[in-house]
Amino acid sequence: MRFSHILAGLALSASLVGVAHARDQISIVGSSTVYPFATIVAEKFGQSSGFKTPVIESTGTGGGMKLFCAGIGLEHPDITNASRAMKSGEAELCASNGVEFQEFIVGNDGLAFSNSNASANFEISIAHIAAALAAELPGGGKTNISNAAMSANMLTSWAEVDAFVANMGGASAGLPDQPISIMIPPPTSGTRDAMGSLFMKAGWKKLGLDGDGYKNLREDGKAIEMGENDALIIEKLVAGPEMFGIFGYSFFDQNRDKVQASVVDGVELNFDNIASYEYPGARPLFFYVKKQHMGVVPGMKEFISEFVSEKAMGMDGYLFPAGLVPLAEDSFAEQVEARNSL
């Protein structure tokens, strides 16, 4: 190692230790989906460990990654939650700022395509969801020619979506003549990224379409971009029986008295179908730890030990009633190994 590198490392350590007194609480940012689980762990940790309860901000996965990867030092967060894996560009940002990190998988989740309990329960396919949300479709959706020129999505009702899917070779779901109105996550959300890959991209292929047209969502009022506040989506679903919302299983599970989840591709949204990944919207959840902050911010190792444990993440753990679908035994063992390596 060059002498200059050694000096740089010593200077970094000194700067971290020198301002350690400025923050004696763990700082966590990131996913609104992982936020409830991290909050429960933080409260348990604060009550039993002797360390202060971590401060957690729900910034969205993308927003959390920007904050986390911005640099080393106590002005930057120690941990970021994520409802999808870190992207290559985010890893590059971390690397460019000298941030070394450890990835942990928290458990499993599934995207709910949900509406009010007062409404009809839908049984649809991911092809229907993609057709309803895409900015452009062949012939605007008013054709049975798959290679027709792409134009602005003209589908306004679920009955029209159903007819388009059938014209494209899919199965008709017998959907009603009900206006399309879908609340979607914001671009900063990992749930939006998951929706893009699990519902839009896969649904696009199911329609027999090539290219990346699924990436652009309609902006004519049928797709309504929401913020990171999932509680507001529930309120709007209750108030608007014709509306749908896309959010995580854990939040759906906590609001079963108000909303229901559509059956997607013939599979119900439930614990078993998420754990087996039979449900097409199943996905893992993550958090990322800044390695350079270990041993500097008080309680980092102890908090991670609290989170990555059977008592929290296991089948009988305290996160299970909150809607977290536990990992398979071998995957959980890998997280424990990663925890012990820090």
Q: Where are the beta strands (DSSP E) in 87-234?
A: 101-116, 123-124, 136-138, 150-152, 182-184, 223-225
Residues 275 and 293 reside in one and the same domain: no
* pLDDT score recorded for residue 22: 63
* pLDDT score recorded for residue 214: 96
Residues 77 and 180 reside in one and the same domain: no
Domain boundary among 232, 258, 282: 282
Residues 145 and 259 reside in one and the same domain: yes
The DSSP bridge pattern shows strands 244-248 and 123-124 to be unpaired
Stretches in the chain below the pLDDT threshold 70: 1-22, 146
Domain boundary among 240, 266, 282: 282
Domain boundary among 282, 298, 333: 282
Cα Rg of the chain (Å, integer): 22
Residues 101 and 125 reside in one and the same domain: no
Q: What is the pLDDT of residues 44-94, one digit of tens each?
A: 999 999 999 999 999 999 999 999 999 999 999 999 999 999 999 999 999
* pLDDT score recorded for residue 229: 79
Residues 186 and 115 reside in one and the same domain: yes
54 is in which domain, residue-wise? Answer: 3-108+285-341
Residues 278 and 144 reside in one and the same domain: yes
What pTM value is reported for the model?
0.88
3-state SS assignment for residue 110: strand
Cα(306)–Cα(301) distance, integer angstroms: 9
Structurally, how many domains does the chain consist of? 2
